[in-house]
Amino acid sequence: MPGVWVIAENSNYTLELLSKGLEIANELNEKLVAFSFGNEELANDYISCGADEVFVLPALNRELPFEAYVPLIVAEAKKEMPEAIIVCATQRGTELASRVAAGLNTGLATGCISVRVDKGNLVMERLVFGGAAVQTVICTTRPQMAAIPPGTYEKAQPREDRRGQIKVVAGNVETKVKVVERRKKEQEEIDLTEAKIIVSVGRGFEKQEDISLARELARLLGGEVGCTRPIAEELHWLPEERYMGISGKKVKPDLYIGLGVSGQVQHVTGIRDAKIIMAVNTDENAPIFDAADYGIVGNLYDVVPKLMTEIKAALNK
Amino acid sequence: MLKIIVCFKWVIDEADIKVSGKSRELDLSRVAYKISDYDRNAIEEAVRLQEQLGGSVVAVTVGPPTAKQSLKDALSRGPEKAVFVSDPAFDSLEPAQTAAILAEVITKNLEYDLIICGEGSSDLYAQQVGPRLAEKLGIPCATYVEKIIIKDKELIAERKMRDGIEVVSMPLPALVTVMPTINTPRIPSLKQVLGAAKKPVVNLSAKDLEGKYEPCLKTTSLLAATMERKRIKFTDDPQDIRKVVDALLKEGVIS
Ligand SMILES: Cc1cc2nc3c(=O)[nH]c(=O)nc-3n(C[C@H](O)[C@H](O)[C@H](O)COP(=O)(O)OP(=O)(O)OC[C@H]3O[C@@H](n4cnc5c(N)ncnc54)[C@H](O)[C@@H]3O)c2cc1C
Ligand SMILES: Nc1ncnc2c1ncn2[C@@H]1O[C@H](COP(=O)(O)O)[C@@H](O)[C@H]1O
């Protein structure tokens, strides 16, 4: 049986894919195969969480990146001819999936927002045009491949009665790409996706210090501060965990307040699931007003203090 | 002397996309086109490296005949030559096809030390063409690159990963995909815009390709991502602002 393969760069993401993989493997009537990288102990965890078979690949030398596994995975896939390969779409996962797909001359849908099975095909939905549209694709070649972002599924839970096979894949992991340095970044503890209220900072803010205005509003409402991509990536005014959009966080707060945010589709895509969207922008034609329930046309430096006064009065704070 | 190839895509400006009625169908009748956003960074990086180290920059694009308009724009940004691979069927290529076509064209027509692609295209944002192309050409690659240093025949790239920076080294020839944070693309001067028309363009068509390049993916639907919103606008005077606060209270989203 060729199987459904799930591949992720760490064990948490592998467990997420196993829960979806189990469903897909059942519908396709295939065995479920997980990959463990240099760790045989994890193989047993994966089996108790649903894998019928686990391929254990050799451990990496420290100077090799995860993507170095591409040739081994391609070689293995050519032998086994899996029916489907599901990869966790971290950045490394996306590169790995693309190169494996190229090596196998097959199709791959990256950044899938949903995957289901219909008549033996994975039906994969993904966003295009910066999030303005949803494209549904199927793969006409085999293996069919999907890359799904981390956090899309709950982790699979272990069960007592599970049995499976472990296969140790031998071989040299070789690549011309060597890691010469790793500079870990301080990870913030906040999870914007859990916030009930988000005050979002856009380029309408003139200086970094002015973000205190957004912080005060957020504090008053018991919310968190988020931002657009340029605020985080170009200006480095806020950490990258805080930007929302097609390439950032997808959030679902009760209330999103955009301050000086133009509302281009790449950003709006990340806030589509907000219950209420409110925005302050000087430009009455800014696209954010089409995406907002309540829009205030005005200067944020003038509107935010007034807004806080009104909120304090209304909430008796 | 460094021979650089930069791959860019001519795409629909997503800001011009309208939705026709309730059907969620896309109305593309009034859209303008542009060089895919991050490909402007890719072109800029190629030109900067050439300015630093000498050598040449060739810009390559695959698309329908209408993408011809892109060439002047691309060339005004600094490359000295363009290769335009076109066919009416190339208006809806998927990444596997684009990468395979690029691989054939590059192998047969161009010498290179370095190939630069964008992190992802503005329309499909598949993030596939770069790494697929590297795999087809059998060269090493680094994705999500924020800084490039070239020493002799070695490339050092800083990759911006979610958990920090990873610095990698590899021998040339190699391929990198660049993040928008790698540089700020220059705005072409009038002289550069006028000069672009005189730069050489190599035109290739599907007939010049040996491969067949069938798609591996089939699009079964393409629908607007719509959102129901109230879209009520207010002014900045205190009375209006109070109305907004009242509305938020009524919605039960602040307390
Ligand atoms: C492939 C791709 C992926 C992307 N992914 C993302 C993503 O995930 N997330 C994201 O956010 N962006 C993303 N972007 C970028 C996106 O297209 C926009 O450029 C970005 O969201 C704009 O940020 P902004 O609204 O802060 O800035 P701007 O577009 O510059 O808008 C600033 C706004 O502030 C208003 N303003 C100015 N002064 C004031 C004032 N005093 N008071 C009130 N309003 C004022 C202006 O009218 C303007 O509307 C992506 C782009 C591409 C090409
Ligand atoms: N039609 C094309 N012609 C030339 N280069 C392309 C084309 N499509 C994509 N690319 C390159 O591949 C990158 C990634 O595209 P994508 O895989 O579609 O996200 C782009 O930033 C370009 O550098």
Query: What total of structural domains would you count in chain B?
Result: 1
Ligand whose nearest atom lies closest to the CA of A213: 1
| Six token digits for residue B214 | 């069938």
How far is the centre of ligand 1, averaged over its atoms, from the C-alpha of A231 (Å)?
8
Residue with tokens 């870990």: A184
Domain-embedded: residue B253:
no
Nearest Cα of chain B lies from the Cα of A160 at a distance, in angstroms, of: 34
Q: Is residue B252 part of a domain?
A: no
| Cα gap B126→B120, rounded to integer Å | 6
Whether residue A143 has a cis bond before it, omega within 30° of 0: yes
B101 lines ligand 2 (CB under 6 A): no
Read off the pLDDT band of B20 (50, 70, 90).
confident
Q: B36, B40, B177: which to mutate for ligand 2, most atoms within 8 A of CB?
A: B36
CA distance B225 to B6: 32
| Residue B243 covered by a domain | no
| Number of the ligand closest to the Cα of B101 | 2
Q: Is residue B222 part of a domain?
A: no
Residue A193 and residue A249 in contact, taking contact as beta carbons nearer than 8 Å = yes
pLDDT at position A293 is 98
Q: How far is B132 from chain A (nearest CA, A)?
A: 5
Q: Which ligand is nearest to the CA of A248?
A: 1
Residue A109: alpha-carbon gap to chain centroid: 14
Burial string for B42-52 (b: 16+ CB within 10 Å, else e) reads bbbbbbbbbee
A215 is in an annotated binding site: no
Is B109 within a domain? yes
> Pick from B126, B131, B236: which is nearest to A296 by CB?
B236
pLDDT the model gives residue B138: 98
B120 within domain boundaries: yes
Task: Indicate the pLDDT class of residue B22, thresholds 50, 70 and 90.
Answer: confident
Q: Is residue B145 part of a domain?
A: yes
Pocket test of ligand 1: the residue of A225, A229, A234, A303 to mutate, having most ligand atoms within 8 Å of its CB, is: A229
Read off the pLDDT of each residue in A50-74 and give the average, rounded to a whole number: 96
Model confidence pLDDT, tens digit, residues B43-90? 999 999 999 999 999 999 999 999 999 999 999 999 999 999 999 999
Which chain B residues are Cβ-neighbours of A306 within 8 angstroms? 236, 238, 241
- Residues of chain B contacting residue A136, judged by C-beta atoms under 8 Å apart: 219-222
**Percentage helix, strand, coil, to 5, in chain B?**
35, 35, 30
What are residue A122's DSSP bridge partners?
A: A117
Res A317: pLDDT: 75
pLDDT at A202: 98
List, chain by chain if needed, residues with CB within 6 Å of any ligand 1 atom: A 130, 202-204, 228-231, 243-248, 260-262, 264, 266-267, 270, 280-283, 286, 299-301; B 37, 120, 122, 125
Residue A262 among known ligand-binding residues: yes
Q: Pocket of ligand 1, candidates A110, A262, A285: which has the most ligand atoms within 8 Å of its Cβ, to mutate?
A: A262
How far, in Å, CA of B28 to CA of B21, rounded?
Answer: 13
* Interchain CB contact of A274 with B (< 8 Å): no
**Predicted confidence band at A144 (pLDDT cuts at 50, 70, 90)?**
very high
Q: Which pLDDT score, from 0 to 100, does residue A186 have?
A: 78
Which residues does chain B have within 8 Å of residue A307's beta carbon, measured at their own beta carbons? 241, 244-245
B62 lines ligand 2 (CB under 6 A): yes
Using one digit for the tens of pLDDT, what is the confidence trace for B163-172?
A: 899 999 999 9
- Cα of A263 vs centre of ligand 1, distance in Å, is 6
pLDDT 10s digits, B105-145: 999 999 999 999 999 999 999 999 999 999 999 999 999 99
For residues B208-219, average pLDDT: 95
Ligand nearest to the CA of A95: 2
Q: Chain B residue with minimal CA distance to A315?
A: B255
Q: Would the CB atoms of B164 and A185 count as touching at under 8 Å?
A: yes
Go through the domains of chain A in sequence order and give each one's CATH number: 4-168 (3.40.50.620), 192-315 (3.40.50.1220)
* Atom nearest to B119 CA in ligand 1: 1
What is the pLDDT of chain B when averaged over all its residues? 96
Amino acid, res. B114: L
Question: What pTM, to 2 d.p., does this model score?
Answer: 0.93
Question: Which chain A residues are within 8 Å of B167, Cβ to Cβ?
Answer: 179-183
Choose among A130, A183, A296: nearest Cβ to B241.
A296
**A272 appears as a binding residue in the annotation:** no
Amino acid at A226: G
Query: Is A49:A15 a contact under the CB 8 Å cutoff?
Result: yes
Note whether residue B219 is domain-resident. Answer: no
| pLDDT, tens digit, 9 for 90 and up, residues A209-239 | 999 999 999 999 999 999 999 999 999 999 9
Output the CA–CA distances (angstroms, integers) from residue A128 to A70, A175, A273, in the order listed.
27, 33, 17
> Which of A131, A240, A246 shows the shortest CA–CA distance to A190?
A240
Q: On the CB side of B141, how many CA atoms lie within 13 Å of its CA? A: 30
Contact A298 B166 (CB under 8 A): no
CB spacing of A107 vs B221 below 8 angstroms: no
Ligand 1 centroid, distance to A228 Cα (angstroms): 6
ipTM: 0.93
A42 at B interface, C-beta within 8 A: no
Decide if pLDDT at A187 tops 80.
Answer: no
User: In chain A, what is the straight-line distance between the N-terminal and C-terminal CA atoms, in Å?
Assistant: 65
> What is the CATH classification number for the domain harbouring B180?
3.40.50.620
Instruction: Name the phi and psi angles at A149, rounded to 5.
Output: -60, 150
Instruction: Decide if A109 contacts A146 (C-beta within 8 A).
Output: yes
Give me the pLDDT at residue B208, please.
Answer: 96
Domain hosting B99: range is 3-208
Tell me: is residue A203 an annotated ligand-binding position: yes
Paired tokens of A93? 């996962």
